[in-house]
């Protein structure tokens, strides 16, 4: 059921189900994104001790490769039952630059999930002028 405290349960289920299938390997997370047509695309982070792309960045590339339309919502979930995870700063910046109107699902109160516009997750941000208009406020 879609509520203010659970705005896209199917998207959260897609991410958490994929995270559960990963088993107990090193610190995996996955992301699932929904495009404007309702299509869901998933991706898995590439964990390596030197770094690597987060699941949110992988799902952005997968969405392009699969021909998905404009992304309207994204969520990340951790393996080993860690649940919904907020994006790191690098992912917040990339999401804002590429999809400035996207909603990000983050942990809410009492174990719920809430949708937050990416602009609210990264206030006073650097604006990559070639890719977006500055926030008028």
Which position among 5, 56, 103, 133 bears the catalytic label?
A: 56
At 112, give phi and psi (nearest 5°). -80, -175
Q: Is 56 considered catalytic here?
A: yes
Contact 76, 31 (CB under 8 A): yes
Could you tell me where the DSSP H helices lie in the chain?
9-21, 55-65, 89-98, 118-121
Active centre residues (catalytic): 56
């Amino acid at each position: 059921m879609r509520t203010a405290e659970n705005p896209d349960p199917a998207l959260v289920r897609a991410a958490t189900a994929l995270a559960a299938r990963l088993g107990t390997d090193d610190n995996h997370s996955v992301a699932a994104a929904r495009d404007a047509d309702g299509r869901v695309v998933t991706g898995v982070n590439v964990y390596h001790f030197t770094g690597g792309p987060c699941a949110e960045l992988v799902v952005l590339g997968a969405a392009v490769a699969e021909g998905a339309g404009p992304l309207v919502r994204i969520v990340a979930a951790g393996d080993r039952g860690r649940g919904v995870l907020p994006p790191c700063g690098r992912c917040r910046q990339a999401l804002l630059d590429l999809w400035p109107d996207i909603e990000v699902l983050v942990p809410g109160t009492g174990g719920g999930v809430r949708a937050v516009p990416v602009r609210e997750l990264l206030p006073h941000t650097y604006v990559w002028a070639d890719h977006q208009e500055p926030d008028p406020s």
